[in-house]
Structure 1
């Protein structure tokens, strides 16, 4: 039996690069149905690909009907995945749903909506589901496999830099190349409710602290924002400030002299 790939699905996330962070698993009913059709599902680096048997008579694929719908669940492999994914437009008790229903011609990015949350794998609830409507795939004119992309958005947070110094008069400022990110200084006084400030002052009573907060929310990303400079008395003290890591939730504490 000769098989050819008819479509593949890639799960895209602006933070997660490794395939081990997300797992794409066919729904049980889909798995059985694909098997009955003689289709084969293979894991890829970013998702799955589906192969169909060629007809031995004429070398074509068997046409897909309106009943040939395939559902896959997208599962995380850690709690970090959910923490960095944007669910701001998803209602409580629901999850993101991707589908090729209503997909514009020549577009690869699946249309997103929401469905009731379901599915658990290795103890983690599904982040979303993907439904591929079979009859939307014209196998009679299929020259190349169809590439579908399920694209997640990243959660956004405001960045905060805390600069700690033993110097009484700490004159620092921030600037970034092309103003790609702007910061405002946060006023610190004796009435502050900032727990990080209170902790620093409690453990290091003789230090001074300056805080700068980004004007806008910054999406989590695996691509760092470069050339955020720390200036002291107008001179560049640090050329490339480190970006807050995912686990730091937008907060970076830096000790300067």
Structure 2
């Protein structure tokens, strides 16, 4: 496996490289780059070997590391390494594998590399959702709801999320209104576009556009802020976090 480290602090870059080699000596480092321009230059050189994985710091000596992704339209998996936690949501919306805070923990780094390898193996077997394509025409584009003696029709694009409350399924619109529907979440997952909706836990199926913020509470625990807001805190199930991050960065 070939990797690239984009980091403007020499000691941090060296420490990260040593940790990586301790975990897996077979990993080959293609280079360490301290700036946005040098990294872009490497990728634009046709003779350069393209990495399988990039370790990317966000604050570099000449600007924002996200500029590299945007300029090159990178689809290569990325593990972010940074001292700042306020870029979590933006990072997860890229093709990121993980978001590690400095100083990088050896155990968290090992877990991130293991996650990357598992996803790579899945991709090779065409079982990962990264390689899935979605035909929007085959998914439900509106729902019929009732309230008393009245009927209401809503486009799927108006729906922020679906929830289970007191054994009943509800849809909540972006304008805050909610209505009961006669579908289970399992059935809804088959009916609506998985490129736009994701089941984060046993009781919630959310739209991408409903996510306001993502907060890392601890290793293996993500808290979401949704629009419209819920009265209770919303978390992604630990066993769904990896797929959730892939879905965000698709």
TM range (shorter): under 0.3
TM-score by length of 2: 0.26
Q: Flag the structure with more relative contact order, 1 or 2, with Cα contacts below 8 A and sequence separation at least 6.
A: 1
TM-score by length of 1: 0.25
Which structure's CA Rg is the greater one?
Answer: 1
Q: Whose helix fraction is larger, Structure 1's or Structure 2's?
A: 2
